[in-house]
Structure 1
Amino acid sequence: MSNVILVTGGARSGKSSFAESLYKDSSDVVYIATSKIYDDEMKERVELHKSSRPREWKTFEGNYELYKAVTNSKKYILDCLTIMTSNIMFDITRGVDRIKRDKQKQVEDKVVAEIESLIKSIKEVDGTLVIVTNEVGCSIVPENHIARVYRDIVGKINQRVAAISSDVYLVTCGIPLKVK
């Protein structure tokens, strides 16, 4: 298997299910979960994700210092890069109505630095990382500044992560299409 596999697609496209299927016969998997639970709906979504994966998989929760998730396991899933990006974006830009270009670049660089550090640690154990992300550029242009900035940042991050990935899959309607 390749060292870094990026899995992208729209909401409810089957990205996570496909990513998990790559390790379907493995029990020694570390699942890096980036969601924060803010309300009952998110709590329900997190529980649904947890119930879909094998109980013996280890879970690491966080958005920073992801390299700390690396053990002697060879198989990792990060789900999801877009949630991680929104969490880091709001940490960096909290309370701001307009996000200037330098802050946008700061968010982009911080997310990519976290991913690169994680990849480096996983390569040291000769492991494989599957990264799940959302394709956010195939819809209407958001009407507000923050949503447009978020879409733009995620698009740039997805491009950068795809460039350092050995394989990239686009999942639509539950069907994966290898694009790289």
Structure 2
Amino acid sequence: MGRIILVTGGARSGKSSFAESIFDGIKEVVYIATAKIYDEEMEQRIERHKKSRPAEWITYEGSYNIERAVKDKKNYILDCITVMSSNIMFDITRDCEIIPLEKQQEVEEKVEGEIIALIDKIKAIDGNLVMVTNEVGYSIVPENHVARVYRDIIGRINQKIARLSTEVYLVTCGIPRRIK
């Protein structure tokens, strides 16, 4: 029986490194990368991430139709839900200074739909999926409306995904703790 694992924690907490370590020594892994290159800093971050992964791992890039990454391999990493969510949120709300409730719901439903489609496809092949996300609600309430909406959407998405996961880990200061 396959595993559905959620890895969460703060920024730079060691989430991605821990997620990758779950597949240590396994050559057949598909890495679903959701980041987009918007500037030189992001390009450097993406390059660092690519170099840290085993060369045998396959990379699938995108925030939409991510279930298409599932083919003949059994092991998958989705890194990360929060970046994927921000990409989707920007695409849906890019012209909004204040995001109406119906747009907020559209974003949340799209993100949830992407993740559920991926989980369903992984389960259908009896595969293993490790998903990385951020805990964005541990800080002060954001002053900016868009940031508050994003925080709220991610909080609800993380709760839903945790319920669907067989294991959940919280990573703090590079130390993973299983919480489910």
- TM-score surpassing 0.5? yes
Q: Which amino acid aligns with 1:166?
A: T
Runs of 4+ in 1 over 4 A off after TM superposition: none
| Residue aligning to 2:41 | 41
| Residue aligning to 1:65 | 65
Q: Percent same amino acid at aligned positions?
A: 64
Q: Secondary structure at the match of 1:171?
A: strand
| Residue aligning to 1:112 | 112
Q: Which amino acid aligns with 2:10?
A: G
Where do residues 69-80 of structure 1 align in structure 2 (5 Å cutoff)? 69-80=69-80
- The alpha-carbon distance between structure 1 residues 139 and 2, as it changes in their structure 2 partners (threshold 3 A), is farther
For structure 2, the residue ranges without an aligned partner over 5 or more in a row are: none
> Is the CA contact 1:32–1:79 (under 8 Å) kept in the aligned structure 2?
yes
When structure 1 is superposed on structure 2, of 97-106 and 12-21 the one drifting more is: 97-106
For structure 1, the residue ranges without an aligned partner over 5 or more in a row are: none
When structure 1 is superposed on structure 2, of 3-12 and 99-108 the one drifting more is: 99-108
> Is the CA contact 1:8–1:135 (under 8 Å) kept in the aligned structure 2?
yes
| Residue aligning to 2:164 | 164
> Is the CA contact 1:2–1:167 (under 8 Å) kept in the aligned structure 2?
no
State the shift of 1:154 in Å: 0.6
Aligned residues: 180
C-alpha deviations, 1:130-156, integer Å up to 9, x for none? 000000010111111001111111111
C-alpha deviations, 1:119-140, integer Å up to 9, x for none? 1111121101100000001011
Q: Distance in 1 between matches of 2:131 and 2:47?
A: 20
| Residue aligning to 1:127 | 127
Name the TM-score, length of structure 2 as normaliser: 0.98
Q: Distance in 2 between matches of 1:2 and 1:19?
A: 16
C-alpha deviations, 1:28-67, integer Å up to 9, x for none? 0000000000000000100111111101000000011111
| Residue aligning to 1:86 | 86
| Residue aligning to 2:98 | 98
Q: Secondary structure at the match of 1:7?
A: strand
| Residue aligning to 1:9 | 9
Q: Distance in 1 between matches of 2:147 and 2:72?
A: 39
Tell whether 2:31 aligns with 1:31. Answer: yes
Q: Distance in 1 between matches of 2:2 and 2:18?
A: 15
> Is the CA contact 1:2–1:166 (under 8 Å) kept in the aligned structure 2?
no
| Residue aligning to 1:21 | 21
C-alpha deviations, 1:64-91, integer Å up to 9, x for none? 1111100111000000000000000011
Name the TM-score, length of structure 1 as normaliser: 0.98
> Is the CA contact 2:2–2:126 (under 8 Å) kept in the aligned structure 1?
no
Q: Distance in 1 between matches of 2:14 and 2:179?
A: 16
Q: Secondary structure at the match of 1:140?
A: coil
Q: Distance in 2 between matches of 1:52 and 1:141?
A: 34
